[in-house]
A and B are shown apart, each in its own frame.
Chain A
């Protein structure tokens, strides 16, 4: 008869850069249940919207997370623009998507490095992060920041990128693409990597849908759900866009989807850089939203769908700001993916949802 034990995983663990705790129930070495616990570093940033006006709060929204910083500023900006019915200039919309896709490239490279580190392939980890540095250099060149850019504002963007510089960015990314191809081969074909990922932590398509999984985590289970398909901002100007999916639903599929999304993001940046129109990068935004006005909006962060909501009380300070981050909705799916796995595979499966506790503990 199997021995039933309960083992705490986290909140401090070598694969977790941020605190999350799982209470694992095991039968011998097999996980039969898990209860998640977050809330160790909850910051209450949503409450701060009552004390900052809607322009100032942009800087708070951007600081929800260091990896998805641009995405949060974009999500907040487009929601407030909906509230104020502001029309953003075309050039600004292109620049926003270019920075947002660069953020996806750097986030996925960071995650691939962490995954390699998680299964002990240190050389692969170093190569991923070395490539990521080049993307951070692009951020620094174009915005002055490597983590927090302060490039987005309500009504547009604060920095322009010269067309010649855009060309240079595309060349840099194409150069990275060649090196990245080599790294991708290790992730997708190396036998020792496959041993750690293939068939591990399977989530079926039905489970992913029923558990509301989002992002690469859901797409790896065959749920072709990507908010970029809505065509918000300059995504509407792309000649074609289709979410990258896989049907396997295991850790390998999650890795594969992210590996391919890096190529997709580079293609999006190249297409938009070639098409970007000339013109203004921001419109002045003044005045206060009408009392009781409210807006919902969504965007596709590197980790999946993020949901934003704002409500006005008629003053310059908003009454409510709400962000539902991808990690918080992926937790139930992660718990299901853990059931039936070996204890030794738990860190891999937790990593494959790309957990961002900073976002979740906004």
Chain B
């Protein structure tokens, strides 16, 4: 039983900012962004809402690829972009409030990357 439509739009890393900008122009609200570590790389999901309809952008990146921040368009994104950096080691440039890896106090680096040991 799904309570709302599952809209996922794949986008290339190079088009992320332009696509997010289109959402901004259309009056979408930022909901969240998160990462998921897969065998070959990382899946990033950016979620936006307009009138209770959720749209998700899916970006697949390879380790080491640099992602541009969307926090200049959606200021609330800085919290989650710092989180993605600290937990997954994703290099994100231009975060409006960049904690440079000190957002969370972690015992091990990038604990959410696939294969990282479970925290004791």
Contacts and interface: CB of A to CB of B under 8 A. Distances in A.
A48 B30 contact: no
Given A210-B75, A296-B47, A324-B34, 5 more contacts: A42-B106, A212-B74, A294-B6, A322-B34, A331-B76
B17 to A, nearest CB: 17
Interface string A300-339: 0000010101010000000110101000110111000000
Secondary structure type dominating chain B contacts: loop
A307 B32 contact: yes
Interface of A: 35-40, 42, 44, 46-48, 50-51, 78, 81-82, 85-88, 209-212, 225, 227, 229-230, 232-233, 294-298, 305, 307, 309, 311, 319-320, 322, 324, 328-329, 331-333
A211 B75 contact: yes
Interface in B39-81: 45, 47, 52, 54, 56, 74-76, 78-80
Contacts of A36: 97
A46 B112 contact: yes
Contacts of A47: 111-112, 116, 118-119
Given A42-B104, A42-B105, A296-B54, A88 B32 contact: no
Listed from nearest, the 7 A-B pairs whose CB atoms lie closest are A39-B104, A324-B32, A212-B76, A82-B2, A232-B3, A332-B76, A320-B36
Contacts of A78: 1, 3
A329 B32 contact: yes
A362 to B, nearest CB: 11
B38 to A, nearest CB: 8
A328 B118 contact: no
Contact of B79 (A48, A233, A329): A329
B92 to A, nearest CB: 16
B3 A332 contact: no
B110 to A, nearest CB: 11
B115 to A, nearest CB: 10
B1 A209 contact: no
A42 B80 CA distance: 14
Contacts of A329: 31-32, 76, 79
Q: B31, B80, B86, B106: which has the most chain A beta carbons within 10 Å?
A: B31
B4 A297 contact: yes
B103 interface: yes
A81 B1 contact: yes
26 contacts: A37-B103, A38-B104, A39-B86, A39-B103, A40-B105, A44-B111, A51-B118, A82-B2, A85-B1, A88-B1, A212-B29, A212-B30, A230-B3, A230-B4, A295-B6, A296-B47, A297-B2, A297-B4, A309-B34, A320-B36, A322-B32, A322-B34, A324-B31, A329-B79, A331-B79, A332-B79
Contacts of A333: 76
B79 A328 contact: yes
A39 B56 CA distance: 26
A210 B27 CA distance: 9
B65 to A, nearest CB: 19
A332 B1 contact: no
A225 B53 CA distance: 12
Given A230-B52, A324-B80, A332-B79, A309 B104 contact: no
Contacts of A305: 31
B111 A35 contact: no
Contacts of A48: 118
A338 B54 CA distance: 30
Given A39-B103, A42-B104, A332 B78 contact: yes
Contacts of B111: 44, 47
A209 B74 CA distance: 10
